[in-house]
């Protein structure tokens, strides 16, 4: 079928709106009419080729929409269902079998392979292959082919156009707190980097009952929003030493911290600010080969560091919970979102990179 998509033609080139041909859904595939799709940091670093995804390609991996048609073997959803598209995984490796989908041995191929897992293409332009199936979706488009495995059914009374970012960025931040770190009520957490992922973590920390929630950033506007969403303290890292400030606020250091900036210097601060036995969650994705240094004795005294992918989320379970928290007013993602049309996608990317907008969402016409 004919679709309209924002194509990434080459390294660091602007998105280009084109009419493409999309394959029909195969046995385990789901054709989704996209209603909204978030622009995530990962889309932009792939556009800039920090990760070797073949181009030209249609990116986009925070889609939400309505099921149009399903393949013969699909039983999870049917035409008309409202769905959020999340990351894909193989279902066969040891980690998938144990429910740790974010640590699937085939995660790279299933999300960054830019074709179906069997290597066949899903998209073309005048007979030439355009790479698709990015995160099992390629949702910067009016329609996307997803898999039964990465579509998540959501209630029809929720605002569908808003929900796409739950499939990646927002479940990453919220899940890091709720699924991975699991802080007890009454404990302290410091969140380094209060972009959309960090702010999702701040909201989640309030949901689980952390009583000291410290937002750290170099952007004062973001810190203001962090306060609005639940931060009890904020630190402007350009003017203050976050480690000293966090010790001042907490007495003996934070019980939990989250690194969301992917900067080695900040990662070290997120570890150094912990109390003995504290846990630092690392969710910022740095370019391959990035190294960080620590005093080994910092870790020796019971502190630990935990890498977290996609918030340790089992999307079928976790995304509906986040939708319910949103509906109850306890996870107000609408405060992060600004809507754009598909032909404004370059503007959306630019606004996001400049830090003017927390979470751009492309709303399809
Ligand atoms: Zn797997
Ligand atoms: Zn993402």
Task: Report yes or no on 327 lying in a domain.
Answer: no
Q: What is the pLDDT of residue 32?
A: 98
Q: What is the pLDDT of residue 51?
A: 85
Q: What is the pLDDT of residue 287?
A: 86
Task: Report yes or no on 24 lying in a domain.
Answer: yes
C-alpha of residue 136 to centroid of ligand 2, in Å: 12
- Tell me which ligand sits closest to the C-alpha of residue 170: 2
Q: Based on the fold, state whether residues 208 and 232 are members of the same structural domain.
A: yes
Q: What is the pLDDT of residue 226?
A: 98
Residue 288 has pLDDT above 90, yes or no: no
3-state secondary structure of 292: coil
- Tell me which ligand sits closest to the C-alpha of residue 149: 1
For the segment 54-67, the average pLDDT, to the nearest whole number, is 97
Render pLDDT for 24-35 as a digit per residue (tens, 0 to 9). Answer: 999 999 999 999
Q: Based on the fold, state whether residues 182 and 162 are members of the same structural domain.
A: no
For the segment 318-339, the average pLDDT, to the nearest whole number, is 98
Q: Based on the fold, state whether residues 338 and 215 are members of the same structural domain.
A: no
Contacts of 340 (CB under 8 A, 6+ apart): 347, 348, 360, 361, 362, 363
Task: Report yes or no on 316 lying in a domain.
Answer: no
Q: What is the pLDDT of residue 125?
A: 97
Closest CA to 63 of 132, 129, 126: 132
Task: Report yes or no on 322 lying in a domain.
Answer: no
Residue 343 has pLDDT above 90, yes or no: yes
Q: Based on the fold, state whether residues 222 and 136 are members of the same structural domain.
A: no
Are 359 and 165 contacting, i.e. CB atoms less than 8 angstroms apart? Answer: yes
Tokens of 84: 């959020």
Total of domains in the chain = 2
Q: Based on the fold, state whether residues 182 and 157 are members of the same structural domain.
A: no
Task: Report yes or no on 108 lying in a domain.
Answer: yes
Q: Based on the fold, state whether residues 151 and 112 are members of the same structural domain.
A: yes
Closest CA to 46 of 63, 62, 59: 59
C-alpha of residue 60 to centroid of ligand 2, in Å: 8
Q: Based on the fold, state whether residues 202 and 217 are members of the same structural domain.
A: yes
Render pLDDT for 179-202 as a digit per residue (tens, 0 to 9). Answer: 999 999 999 999 999 999 999 999
C-alpha of residue 186 to centroid of ligand 2, in Å: 30
Q: Based on the fold, state whether residues 13 and 151 are members of the same structural domain.
A: yes
Render pLDDT for 119-165 as a digit per residue (tens, 0 to 9). Answer: 999 999 999 999 999 999 999 999 999 999 999 999 999 999 999 99
Cα(202)–Cα(213) distance, integer angstroms: 7
Q: Based on the fold, state whether residues 157 and 19 are members of the same structural domain.
A: yes
% of the chain at pLDDT higher than 90: 97
* Confidence band for 209, pLDDT divided at 50, 70 and 90: very high
The mean of the pLDDT values for the chain is 97
C-alpha of residue 168 to centroid of ligand 2, in Å: 5
- Tell me which ligand sits closest to the C-alpha of residue 94: 1
Q: Based on the fold, state whether residues 27 and 160 are members of the same structural domain.
A: yes
Residue 52 has pLDDT above 90, yes or no: no
Cα(93)–Cα(97) distance, integer angstroms: 6
Residue 36 has pLDDT above 90, yes or no: yes
C-alpha of residue 355 to centroid of ligand 1, in Å: 34
C-alpha of residue 62 to centroid of ligand 2, in Å: 7
Q: Based on the fold, state whether residues 137 and 153 are members of the same structural domain.
A: yes
Q: Residue length, the chain? A: 365
C-alpha of residue 325 to centroid of ligand 2, in Å: 21
Task: Report yes or no on 115 lying in a domain.
Answer: yes
Assign residue 39 the CATH number of its domain.
3.90.180.10
- Tell me which ligand sits closest to the C-alpha of residue 112: 2
Render pLDDT for 302-315 as a digit per residue (tens, 0 to 9). Answer: 999 999 999 999 99
- Tell me which ligand sits closest to the C-alpha of residue 44: 2
C-alpha of residue 330 to centroid of ligand 2, in Å: 22
Are 146 and 315 contacting, i.e. CB atoms less than 8 angstroms apart? Answer: no
Q: What is the pLDDT of residue 323?
A: 98
Contacts of 243 (CB under 8 A, 6+ apart): 269, 272, 273
Domain that holds residue 281: 173-308
Assign residue 261 the CATH number of its domain.
3.40.50.720
- Whole-model pTM over 0.75: yes
Q: Based on the fold, state whether residues 102 and 54 are members of the same structural domain.
A: yes
């Amino acid at each position: 079928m004919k679709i309209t998509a924002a194509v990434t033609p080459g390294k660091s080139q602007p998105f280009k709106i084109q009419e493409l041909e999309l394959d029909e859904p195969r046995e385990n595939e789901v054709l989704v009419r996209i209603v909204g799709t978030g622009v995530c940091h990962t889309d932009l670093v792939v556009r800039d080729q920090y990760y070797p995804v073949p181009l030209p390609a249609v990116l986009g991996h925070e889609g939400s929409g309505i099921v149009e048609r399903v393949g013969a073997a699909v039983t999870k959803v049917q035409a008309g269902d409202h769905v959020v598209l999340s990351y894909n995984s193989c279902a066969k490796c040891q980690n998938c079998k144990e429910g740790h989908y974010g640590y699937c041995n085939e995660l790279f191929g299933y999300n960054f392979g830019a074709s179906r897992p069997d290597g066949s293409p899903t998209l073309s332009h005048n007979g030439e292959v355009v790479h698709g199936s990015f995160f099992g979706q390629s949702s910067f488009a009016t329609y996307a082919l997803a898999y039964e495995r990465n579509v998540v059914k959501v209630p029809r009374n929720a605002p569908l156009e808003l929900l796409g970012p739950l499939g990646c960025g927002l479940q990453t931040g919220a899940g890091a707190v709720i699924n991975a770190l699991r802080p007890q009520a009454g404990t302290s957490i410091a969140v380094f980097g209060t972009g959309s992922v960090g702010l999702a973590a701040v909201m989640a920390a309030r949901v689980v009952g952390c009583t000291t929630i410290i937002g750290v950033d170099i952007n004062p506007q973001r810190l203001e929003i962090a306060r609005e969403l639940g931060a009890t303290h904020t630190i402007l890292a350009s003017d203050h030493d976050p480690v000293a400030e966090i010790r001042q606020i907490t007495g003996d250091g934070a019980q939990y911290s989250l690194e969301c900036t992917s900067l080695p210097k900040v990662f070290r601060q997120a570890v150094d600010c912990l109390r003995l036995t504290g846990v630092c969650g690392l969710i910022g994705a740095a370019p391959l080969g990035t190294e960080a240094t620590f005093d080994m004795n910092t870790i020796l005294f019971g502190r630990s560091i935990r890498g977290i992918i996609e918030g340790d989320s089992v999307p079928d379970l976790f995304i509906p919970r986040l939708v319910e928290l949103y509906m109850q007013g306890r996870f107000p993602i609408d405060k992060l979102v600004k809507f754009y049309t598909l032909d404004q996608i370059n503007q959306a990317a630019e606004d996001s990179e400049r830090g003017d907008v927390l979470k751009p969402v492309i709303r399809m016409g």
